[in-house]
A and B are shown apart, each in its own frame.
Chain A
Amino acid sequence: MRIAVLVTYVPDTASTIKVGPSGKAIDEAGIKWIISPYDEFAVEEAIKLKESKGAEVTYITYGPERDQQVLRECFARGGDKGVHVVGTGAAFGDAFAIAQILTAAVKKAGPFDLIFAGVKGVGSDQGLVGAMVAELLDIPHVASVTKIEYGEAGITAWREIEGGQEVVEVSLPCVITAQKGLNEPRYPSLKGIMAAKKMPVESVKVADLGLDEAALGGATCRWVSLALPPAKSAGKIIHGEQDPQAAARELARLLREEAKVI
């Protein structure tokens, strides 16, 4: 079995985000980059499958030079090969452009029986790329998966829907996007980290895939401006030690009349 895992490098969720001078991108100075947390579930699922059934796991990422490191971080957990599509960032924020680039990379490195991705890349949070890759490859996909059973011919996937769960049977090849709960991602082992630099990474340019990154990027979607959320105003404390009933009445009044939430 051959498995591809689509991964992306994102700012650490604990980072303090600042908007850069262009107003259209974040200031990357001092940012620590991490594997997108949902991609960690995808990586873990692929490694578990390799360990239980035997499989070759290929990680594929698209991004600037520094993003080769995301492949090393995946290798520190397991896996066999990496493909880094080195880009200029022109397609950043345009899910369809990214999906076209990744699809071309999947076709070049494939064929694959199973493609995993995180349900979304933390930061831009669009949740589009996995499904778009499936459409472009003309294969089925199941999004936001929290449990998988592997059968003889295909797989059964549990996915979160509003107020319940949907159980889907799907044939291979397919794309699965991983949601929190799918598994418990392992910590990288020290041995894995030391072995990671020796793992094979194929570095390709977008042009090598027959695509024009500049033309793709922003063709369907581009970021016009970024702004930080307004600073939180100070909270209001209602003191209720003396007269709890009056405090409760006042709280209910404020929630109804000022906050307008009840």
Chain B
Amino acid sequence: MMVVWTLALNTFREAVRDRVLHSMVFFAVITVCASLVLKDITLGDQDKIVRSIAEGGIDLFASLIGMFLGISIIWKELEKKTIYTILSKPMPRWQFILGKYVGLNLTIWAEIALLSVMYVVLMLFQQDVPSPIFFVSMGLLVVELMLLTAWTTLFSTYSAPTTASAFTISIFIMGHLADDLWLLGSKSDSVFLEQVVHFIYWVVPNFELLSIRDLSVHEREIPWVQVWSAAGYGIVYSVVVLLLAVLLFNRKDIR
């Protein structure tokens, strides 16, 4: 496991020194802070507006960072040929994939932690205390991004960032519209279309299962059964996608 940890730390170190990441985190911070300004120009439950914008901002930027870093996570090593001196060391290839994946997720967790701390400070500034469901919601966001980055890692093992980003965005959108897809298929008159849409529903990840942001914004009770089953689903699904990435990468010739 030392090899995996070494590669993960190196990936994390490389990512946090990336200037594009700095810019994205900067904009994420601005968005979270902007919720304070926006609440003054809106009507209704202003606290809810703050929570909605801030949590939405954390979700959006964490997903963007996950996609941005993930689509080139393996490809960059192949393109820059840094992989030659890494894979010629005594380690199986699955450790390389896992190390890169863990490092990528460490970066995302650090970003989510930073923005969550900012959110808490913002709440305290508003003389409010964040509801416990916010932290559970962030936990599920972490699982959601584990799943998304498992897909980006898979795509990155055999395709360039442009193709990988097209695949990732498709998966991201379909994953968030999975329930609507099912409904669309069920209402279709064509049996073939229904079967195709239902097949897509079962194959693509259902990211909405992993989101309890609405409940968090409205500060509802924590739905523990949903949380645990969704977390289990996300983790098992991520492991399956990573296994697929390892299978593909094991057969790859490093040219």
Partners in one complex: no
